[in-house]
Every structure is written in C-alpha cells, then in structure tokens.
Amino acid sequence: MGIQGLWPFLRKRGYRAKIHNSPPQPSSSHSKIRVDVNSTFFPTINYAYSQNSNDQDAAHRILEDCIAQLGSKSDIILYVDGDQSLEKQKTQNHREATRQKSINQARQSILGLEQRLATRKRIRKHHIRRVWRLLKRAFYWQHQDRLTFIEYMTSKGWEIQLCPMEADISIAAECQPHDIVISRDSDLLVFRRIRQLWRPMGPSRRMWFLTYAKDDICSELEFTDQQLTALGIVCKNDYSPNIPMVGIEKSYKIIKAIDGDKDIEAMIAAYLSDDRVQFRNAAREEFANAIRVFAKLTQTPVRSTGPLPDNNDTTVTLRERMIGFLDKLMEQKRADRDARRKSRKERGPRQQFAQKYWHFRTIDVPDNTMSHNFRKRYSCKEQYESGIEHPPPEVMSEYKWRPPKKHANQSDPKEPEKLVEKERPKVRKRIHGVQKGRLLRELEWEHPTVTLDMGTLRANVSKVSSEDSSAELIISCVERAVREASKVKRKCQEILGRYLKAISDSEVTKEDRVILEYLCPHDDDGDDTVDCANNGD
C-alpha cells in the first residue's frame, strides 16, 4: 500500500512525474536497478501461481519473462520479501482477515452454484465472476514458493536475494545515489537514500513508468529530505496510523513550519506538540514503529507462535472445486441440447394449425373457409349509406331552446377598442464622435487577434519528435517564448494606457495625431479634425 494519498498529493502540489514507455537504463557502469518483486509483479504472481498450482516451473517462467523486460541480468538486482515483522503485524493481521473473509464468501458462492445446478435454476454470468474475484482476492504467495523461485532464478544467472523481512528495508540500506528503484509502493520514496523511484503502470508485459526524482520533489514542496521522511512517518502507512482528522495536507503545512535542519525524531516531537495535533491525539500515538523503519532502517522479527494458516491450499481446493462445477455445468448444457434435438426429430415437421374465428375482424374480409383473397391494404371499406336522417329520441323532445333573459339596465356588449400601435422613436444617427461597435470593428480590422485551434503544445511536439530529451527542450523553448511575448504585450498595454492618459490631460499636438492615426483610424462622418490634421492646424 505505501503512504496513503502521497501520489495525489504530489500532483496537487504541482509536481508532474515524467512518463517513460521503455524500461530504465543505468546512468553508469556502477549504478544498478533494484526491483521489489512482490510490489512490482504481484498481479503476475497471482495469475501465474494460481493457474499453475501443480506446475511451479511454468509459474516461474511466466514471472521470469516479465522481469526480463526490465533489462539485462547484469544491471538488475531482485529483492523478495521474507518473514513478517513486528512493526507491520497489525497490517498483516488485517490482510489475513480479509483473505479469510474472501475464502468463506467464495466457499458459500460455490455451494450456492452447486445447489442451482442441482435444482436446474438459471446460472448467470455474474455468479461465476464473483467466485473468481473472491479467489483472486484471497491469494497469498507462500514462503515455499518464494524459495523455489529464488533457486530457479539463481540457476538462470539472475542476482536475487531473499530479504530477512521487508524488501523495502534492504533496498533502502543498499541503494546508492545513482541507483534506480522500481516499485509500485510509495513508501520507498520516503527513505533518504533512495533518490529516484520508477513507478510501473499498466500490465506486466506492456509496462510504462512514472519517474519520481527526490531532488525535484523537495524543491517543489520546499522541503528537506528530513521533512519529507517526517511527512511519510506521520501519514497513514503500513506501520503506523495517522492522527484522526489530520490528513496529509494539514501534516504538510505543520511540518513545513518546523525547522528542516532538525533530526527526524525532533521533528516528530515538534509535530506532536502542535495545537492542531495535540488535542486530536486521544490515543497518544507516537509513531514509534514508523520511526524505527523509515529513520533507523530496522525491523523486529515476529516470534513464531505456531504454523501460519495455509490459505493457499484452501484457494487451490476451491479453484479445483469451481473447475469441476464448470465441467458439470457444460455437461448438463450439452445433455439438454441433445435432448432438445432428439425431441425435435421425433416430433417431425411442424404442423400448420387452422386459425381460430376472429369476431373482431374487418367487415369486408371474407370468411377463413373461403380462398384467401384479402382486401388490398389501402382499398376503401364498405360502409352504410350516408344522408339518411333519423328522428331524435323522445327524451330530446322535452328540451326546447329559449333565448337568455335581458335585464333593463343591461346594454348590448360593446366591441373591444382597437389597440393603436405607438410609433417607435427614431434612432438618431450620431454625427460627432465614433460609436462603440464601429470602433471595435475598426480596431479588429487594424489589429486582428485570432487564436488558432492547433491542439496542446506537448501533444503536437510528441507527434513530431519521438526522443524525450529533444521534446522537452522544444517545449521549454516555446514556453519561454510565449512568456516573453505575454510580458511584451502587457508592457505595451501599460505604455499605451499611460500615453492616452497623458493626451487626455494635455492638448493634442500634430505628432500625437500621427501616432493616433497609426493606432486607430479616425471617423470621417462630419468630423473636421481630419482636414485640420492634413493642413497642419
């Protein structure tokens, strides 16, 4: 997991990681590429050792093919996690409880599928997907499988080691300033000796990387190395929880106010003594486990109290049970299909049943017993003769129409008065001065400002140049030119504003009129200033 929320925090603070589509290359002959196998290739490990539980060599080959894409054997050092540590015991217990819960749910789901198959109920696709998802969540790479993988890779000429406990501690202890570390966990970025972290993205066979440089991050955050390590300690990680209601943003502001030249333990003490942290720290958290790991690079082994539960054998058993269920399901579907085909052959061709008499048929459609000469779709229907007057019913003879009564003071209704349209005031044409719309159109003609929709700068440069170094130089050059153009534009605007203000405060001279003629055309409608300007008056 690493440090919770570190990647989004860096993006929010303005740091943009560089993207590389190819694996890293050592900068010198002495630099190495150090790979955390468990963190980098865990999806591949889950797939390889679940699908090939009876053939470990096949699983080892799948994992080796993915590792070989990172570079040559002489440049790579592989690290595999060892035993559990006391500092990470709480996180490991939580993960073990999650795996056990997934196993129980998968067992209940498989039992429900078997009951549906026995009672011939319909089995949906999401029922089967749920079982595979739970089994994938319950996977754990067993210690014995790690040892056999290390023996296999050693025989193939790879430099690999089984760490005493966590691989993070071994990598941070042996890392040199020019080495490159590859891992998906963000907590490796907090260790002081690790200067460059490559974060793999995408599937294992088509990886692309996000690179994080420690010096660039510290300069963007205005942090020292000690402050960045202290930030990782006080945030939620695999070893210690954070203070309630104090996230990474608030912790960053508190640590930034602390002197960066102090050692890490003094920074943590100053952080805990802050008023914003002190009254929320009801559990009296002191981050002892995180300080021991990130600052001192030490871990304590867990005393063995008995054999660990072998959940991997349970997942293998459930996977075999699920495969057996799928075989039975396919056999049942084949049997049903064969039974349908057999009954169709025994029944013979389908019989044509006579249509029933329809009481609500169209009046001019002939009887079904006769030949089927149906009426055309748009032909006229036969109807009764029109124009025959029928006498009204007797009830209607009781009602006679009578005109309404009129009162003595009631007069005939007057016709509504016609509305007379009011004449709209005529808009007078301005003789002196220039209208605002016309002035804007004239300015647009003399000084056009048009923006071309050409796409973003980085996208256009990446289409032309495939090399990262030249692309970055082109982008930086164009950005500097745009900044300088923006500065020049603003300076010109300030100069023109000051000049126009000076003209409005004093009399307009002949030189001012020439300058204004260049800036904007004058109005010819009844304005005598043009002749004055031409005559020099």
φ, ψ for residue 207, nearest 5 deg = -75, 145
Is residue 182 packed enough to be buried (19+ CB in 10 Å), middle (13-18) or exposed (0-12)?
buried
φ, ψ for residue 95, nearest 5 deg = -65, -40
Q: How far apart are CA 231 and CA 5, in angstroms?
A: 12
Q: How far apart are CA 291 and CA 281, in angstroms?
A: 17
Question: Over the chain (537 residues), what is each successive 10-residue block's mean pLDDT?
Answer: 89 91 84 92 91 89 92 92 90 92 94 93 93 92 92 93 91 92 92 92 86 93 92 92 92 91 90 91 90 91 60 81 93 92 81 59 54 53 59 71 71 63 62 60 64 63 71 84 88 82 75 76 50 43
Structure confidence at residue 352 (pLDDT): 60
Cα four-point dihedral sign 368, 369, 372, 373: negative
What pTM did the predictor assign? Answer: 0.62
Structure confidence at residue 203 (pLDDT): 83
Structure confidence at residue 530 (pLDDT): 41
Structure confidence at residue 534 (pLDDT): 44
Q: How far apart are CA 391 and CA 25, in angstroms?
A: 106
Cα angle: 396, vertex 400, 405; to 5 degrees? 150
Q: How far apart are CA 53 and CA 317, in angstroms?
A: 10
Give DSSP secondary structure letters for 25-70.
--SSSS--EEEEHHHHSHHHHHHHHHHTTT-HHHHHHHHHHHHHTT
Q: Is residue 78 a contact partner of residue 159, using CB atoms and an 8 Å limit?
A: yes
Q: How far apart are CA 111 and CA 116, in angstroms?
A: 9
Longest dimension (CA), the chain: 124
Q: How far apart are CA 239 and CA 4, in angstroms?
A: 12
Both tokens assigned to 230 = 């202290």
Structure confidence at residue 312 (pLDDT): 62
The conformational region for residue 299 under phi > 0 = left, psi -120 to 50 = alpha, else beta, is beta
Both tokens assigned to 119 = 């009672």
Q: Where are the beta strands (DSSP E) in 289-357?
A: none
Q: How far apart are CA 107 and CA 47, in angstroms?
A: 20
Q: How far apart are CA 535 and CA 537, in angstroms?
A: 6
Q: Of 1, 158, 178, nearest to 80 (Cα)?
A: 158
User: What sections of 447-527 are H helices per DSSP?
Assistant: 457-464, 468-505, 510-519
Q: How far apart are CA 316 and CA 49, in angstroms?
A: 10
Give DSSP secondary structure letters for 413-451.
PPPPPPPPPPPPPPPPPP-SS--HHHHHHHHHHHS----
Both tokens assigned to 250 = 């608030």
Structure confidence at residue 450 (pLDDT): 54
Cα four-point dihedral sign 81, 83, 88, 92: positive
